[in-house]
């Protein structure tokens, strides 16, 4: 009737399914009761085998709401031009105060009992499913960089390579110098060891010469003059050898 207040506000006013082949799709309805009455509802469809409605009957308390889920079964074929002719009908009626959900039955919706049955028709729409972002488009956007940015990138890469080459050259030179120093140190160490060995041999020979000379002098029993001459000759030789040893050791021991 014109100007008659609806018992339930239905949100949204149509059922929109993001259609995909071979996939179950669901959408929801919210039934809002803005009155102070208990309101019973019932949901019907022109294609009951195609849709599952939960709950298909129920009760909305005063100043409250109730949600209804409509599930479309998986479809093997898409309709022509994605147009759907299916429709839904939501019936609502004022129920006795204090009624429970279990007490909602078909008798509440019988028109012949003189009850006022409110009806709201809903159409079904198929919409395209949301598309994920395309990786190809993102790659294309990344490739559309400005020539200035590309030029700056090239210059930066060249500068980095030049600096890297210079650093590599310096490192190679330092390695070569370090190798030369190690070789020189090895040579000096070898020469120093040789000098020390030579000094030890000369000292040993000098000790042997002194011991031999003393034995000869003791065995012959020579005169005092002869001993004095030999001692002078031996002293000169001893001083000469010790001086040579001192020079050699000082030369090789110096840094």
pLDDT per residue as tens digits for the range 163-212: 666 677 777 888 878 888 887 787 777 777 777 787 788 778 878 887 78
- Tell me the per-residue pLDDT of 66-98, one tens digit each, with 9 for 90 and over: 999 999 999 999 888 889 999 999 999 999 999
* Rounded Cα gap, residues 244 and 117, in angstroms: 136
- In this prediction, residue 58 carries a pLDDT of 97
The residue with greater pLDDT, 192 or 222, is 192
Residue 141 banded pLDDT, cuts 50, 70, 90: low
* Rounded Cα gap, residues 129 and 190, in angstroms: 86
- Does this model's pTM top 0.85? My answer is no
Specify burial of residue 33 (Cβ count, 10 A radius: 0-12, 13-18, 19+): buried
Q: Is 25 helix (H, G, I), strand (E, B) or coil?
A: strand
* Rounded Cα gap, residues 137 and 160, in angstroms: 31
* Rounded Cα gap, residues 65 and 6, in angstroms: 14
The residue with greater pLDDT, 121 or 183, is 121
Q: How many CB atoms lie within 10 A of CB 34?
A: 15
Residues 50, 86 contacting (CB under 8 angstroms): yes
């Amino acid at each position: 009737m014109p100007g008659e207040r609806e018992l339930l506000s239905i949100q949204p006013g149509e059922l929109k399914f993001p259609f995909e082949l071979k996939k179950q799709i669901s959408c929801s309805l919210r039934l809002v009761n803005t009155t102070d009455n208990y309101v019973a509802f019932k949901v019907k469809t022109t294609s009951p085998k195609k849709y599952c409605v939960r709950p298909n009957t129920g009760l909305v308390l005063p100043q409250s709401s109730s949600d209804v889920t409509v599930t479309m079964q998986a479809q093997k074929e898409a309709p022509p031009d994605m147009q759907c002719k299916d429709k839904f009908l939501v019936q609502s009626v004022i129920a006795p105060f204090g009624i429970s959900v279990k007490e909602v039955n078909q008798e509440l919706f019988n028109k012949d009992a003189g009850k006022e049955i409110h009806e709201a028709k809903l159409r079904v729409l198929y919409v395209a499913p949301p598309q994920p972002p395309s990786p190809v488009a993102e790659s294309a956007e990344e490739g559309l960089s400005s020539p200035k940015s590309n030029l700056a990138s090239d210059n930066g890469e060249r500068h980095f390579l030049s600096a890297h080459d210079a650093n590599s050259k310096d490192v190679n030179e330092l390695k070569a110098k370090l190798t030369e120093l190690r070789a020189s140190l090895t040579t000096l160490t070898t020469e120093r060891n040789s000098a020390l060995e030579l000094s030890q041999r000369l000292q040993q020979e000098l000790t042997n010469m002194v011991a031999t000379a003393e034995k000869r002098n003791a065995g012959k029993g020579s005169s005092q003059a002869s001993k004095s001459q030999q001692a002078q000759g031996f002293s000169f030789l001893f001083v000469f050898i010790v001086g040579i040893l001192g020079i050699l050791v000082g030369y090789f021991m110096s840094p």
